[in-house]
Structures are given as structure tokens and as C-alpha cells.
Amino acid sequence: MQAILALEDGTLVEGEGFGYPKVATGELVFATPITGYEEALTDPSYKGQILMLTYPLIGNYGVSGARFQSDGIKVEGFVVREICERPSHYKSKTTIDEFLHSEGVPGICEVDTRMLTIKTRHYGTMKACLIVKEELSDADREKALELAKTQPDISELDLIEQVTCRKPYRIKGSGKRIAVLDMGIKHNILKSLERRNLDICVFPAGTPPSEIESVEPSAILLSNGPGDPQRGKNAINVVKHFLGRLPIFGICLGHQIIALALGASTYKLKFGHRGANQPVKDFELGKVFITSQNHGFAAAEESLANAEEGTRVTQINANDLTVEGLENQYLGVYCVQYHPEASPGPWDTERLFFDRLVRTVEAWH
């Protein structure tokens, strides 16, 4: 198959198509992990985006399904330098091409991902259109450019509603009960909570505070998710409702939502942080942790002067000094921008975050 990728600045790149033949639009973003393409493709935080991986060879260990972070692929399209057609791993069940095809997602390979990454770093993330079909025409090229330029900005899309669960569910445990607001939660977050025997009640993103209150939780956790945190109005209201009444924790989008609820502001990063090698400095421990990240928005540090009294930055990104952790001990708030539950890793911060969650809940009650 043939494939074409168009960017809103007029860039047009042609390559080989794989996966499912269709038209896809979204914000083109790049991620830097060497492994973990199964996890990335199924990460709900990528909803509304066309994912490009900087590592040149993708699919060499196939697709097993064992490490999916949701019920299927969530990216709109996939861009890689080269795909492996004959994977070698004893757990592999299918190829990356077959996986995308079965999920109805288009992909393009044999393109210069290095050039596209450099362009993104220089100009910032751009809206894009990917077309995959048997044979491309000049009309397809014009259509791709038009769709890249005219599609809505990601901040205009209600992406959370597309990835949240449809109804509440419970994962029983013998420990304290924690209410989780699902804005596109990754499976590994739930697994990290399960390993600590917490009694988990998961709610759709639009659930009102009164319904969450009805299960009498000991704490609230806001999950990761896609898009602009300012679109998560109900989640912001949930945080405001429980502030000072229960411990509140957040990961990634949940971190940004909590920042907004505390009175701070958020902003869109130039090209975001997406990869498995982001250094985060913890002020209390005086250590730098290597973390997995996937976000395009961040909490504005200067806006914390307007936040609830006692709110402070606990961690920063060692590369660009953006906020990676917030805390308000008086209100029982603790949240991080990165993914402590990361699969395939790194696991530097898994115990740091989740063990602290358990200790805080037990001390609070």
C-alpha cells in the first residue's frame, strides 16, 4: 500500500502504508522509547494524536497483548521508520502490521522520522493527516494537506469522553477503598493499586461527586488521559468537592486537573514530553529519577502563587525545569506529571508514588 503524511505547515511525506487503509487526522507527536510500542499504541493518553516513534525499527518482538494499557489501540495513526515483518519472541501472537489492521488503524513506514522529529522540536507539534490506500492520487495529496490545516485543535476536542469507562466497576481488595476517576486510565495504574490490596472503585470521568461519595472512599485518584486538562470540567469539580475532606492523588492529566482545581493554571508545551527517559529531580530526597512520560500540557509554576495556600512544587523536570510534582500536605494532595506505573519501565518511581499513597491514606484515617 501507499501512504502519505501531511502537516499543517505544508510538509508532505510519502512512504509505504501498513495497517488499515483509511484517512486519519490528529496532532503528530513523537515518543522516544526503544521498547514498549504495544503499551504506547494502547495508551488512552494518545487519543486524538498520530504517534511517531523515533526508534528506527519497530515490531521486532511482535505483539503479545499481555502489556496492553487499554482494550485496544487508541492512537489515530502510526508513523515509523521501519517495521519488522518477521518478529522473534516466544510470546508474539501477531505482527505490528496485522495488529494495526485488526484495529482499523493506519500506519506509514519508510519515512524520515529523524527529519520529522527535528521539525517538531523546532516548530512544535503540528496537526497532521495520514492517508493509507492501495494507490494515491493527486486529489489524495490535496485532501491530506487540507485536512491537516483545517481540523480542530486538540484543545477543542472532548477526548476524555472517548476513552473513559462507560459505567462504574469495582476491583475488590482488603485494604482501604480508593475511588478512581477514569479519564483514560492505563491498566498498569490499576495493577499497581491491586498489588497493594486496595479496594478500587472506578468511575467514568463525568461522574458527579455525590455518586463517588456514596461508596465512602478513603481517597480519590485522578488518572491519566488525553487532551487539554481545561476540558475536564467535571474532574475539576470533583477535586474541589473533596479538597481537604479526603486525600487526593493524580497522575499525568490527573496532576494537571488537580493544579487547576487548586487555583493554578496550565499551558501547552511546545512539543511535550513523551518517552521512557525523562529525568525528574525530587527536592525532598535530593535525587534524580528516570521516568516515563506522555503529556503535552503542564502546570504553570508561576501560577502557583494563586493556588491554595500550602501548595508547593515537589519535583521538576531536569531537562526544562517544568513542574513534575505538586503537594499540599494540609489538604492531603499529592500528584505527579510522569507515569510511576510505567510499563515496560523505568520503575524508579513506582514504589515512591504508590507506597506514599497507601501511607497517606492510612495516616489520614
CA 21 – CA 89 distance, rounded (Å): 27
Could you give the angle at the alpha carbon of 226 between the alpha carbons of 49 and 76, nearest 5°?
A: 25
Rg (CA), the chain: 20
Q: How much is the average pLDDT of 248-275? A: 98
pLDDT digits (tens, 9 = 90+) for 99-154: 999 999 999 999 999 999 999 999 999 999 999 999 999 999 999 999 999 999 99
Q: Is 216 left (phi over 0), alpha (psi -120 to 50) or beta?
A: left
Cβ–Cβ under 8 Å, residues 61 and 36: no
Of all residues in the chain, the percent with pLDDT exceeding 90 is 99
3-state helix, strand, coil in the chain (%, to 5): 30, 35, 40
DSSP string across 62-77: -B-STT-SSSS---SE
Q: Does residue 341 have an active-site annotation?
A: yes
pLDDT digits (tens, 9 = 90+) for 11-49: 999 999 999 999 999 999 999 999 999 999 999 999 999
pLDDT digits (tens, 9 = 90+) for 325-342: 999 999 999 999 999 999
Strand order from edge to edge, sheet including 333-336: 169-171, 199-204, 177-182, 219-222, 248-251, 333-336, 323-328, 312-317, 266-282, 287-299
Residue 302 burial by Cβ neighbours in a 10 Å radius (0-12, 13-18, 19+): exposed
Other CB atoms within 10 A of residue 59 CB: 26
- Which one is catalytic: 27, 201, 339, 350? 339
Q: What confidence score (pLDDT) does residue 152 get?
A: 97
Amino acid at residue number 147: L
When the pLDDT of each residue in the chain is averaged and rounded to a whole number, the result is 97
pLDDT digits (tens, 9 = 90+) for 154-183: 999 999 999 999 999 999 999 999 999 999
- Which one is catalytic: 252, 273, 295, 327? 252
**pLDDT higher than 90, residue 365:** no
Element containing residue 289 per DSSP (H, E): strand 287-299
Please, what are the domains in the chain?
2-151 (3.50.30.20), 160-364 (3.40.50.880)
pLDDT digits (tens, 9 = 90+) for 284-304: 999 999 999 999 999 999 999
Distances (CA, A) of 273 to 30, 319, 322, 340, 352: 9, 10, 10, 15, 21
Q: Does residue 339 have an active-site annotation?
A: yes
- Which one is catalytic: 8, 324, 341, 350? 341
Contacts of 15 (CB under 8 A, 6+ apart): 3, 4, 5, 108, 109, 110, 111
Q: What confidence score (pLDDT) does residue 364 get?
A: 86
DSSP string across 161-180: HHHS-SS-EEE--SS-EEEE
- What is the model's pTM? 0.96
Angle at which helices 187-194 and 350-364 pack, to 10 degrees? 60
Distances (CA, A) of 259 to 224, 355, 356: 14, 22, 19
Q: Does residue 98 have an active-site annotation?
A: no
